Amino acid sequence: MRLDIKYSSGILPPWRRHKEIKVRETAETDSKYGSKPDERDPAEHIRFGIIVLDKPAGPTSHDVVSWVKRLASIESAGHSGTLEVLGEIPL
């Protein structure tokens, strides 16, 4: 049984709208240009990505970056500050 509800604005809410994804063409890419995120190994994610870390209270953001650099054996890393409400730190 379907309920046909009329909305005064004439606009359907998002959960009532029909959505369709159209794919024009699919193609493969040469691996020398990279790979899909779900096909990357953890080392590639660390080297080319962002780590969102749930920082515990106590250590500074600088301390956490230093630990990650040492544990992951990487030379360059930084942070964009702690998200105070969540306690997470994007590295």
Amino acid making up residue 9 = S
pLDDT tens digits along 32-56: 887 887 888 877 777 777 777 787 7
Nearest CA to 74 out of 42, 32, 52 is that of 42
* Cα–Cα dist 44/34, whole Å: 10
More confident residue, 83 or 54: 54
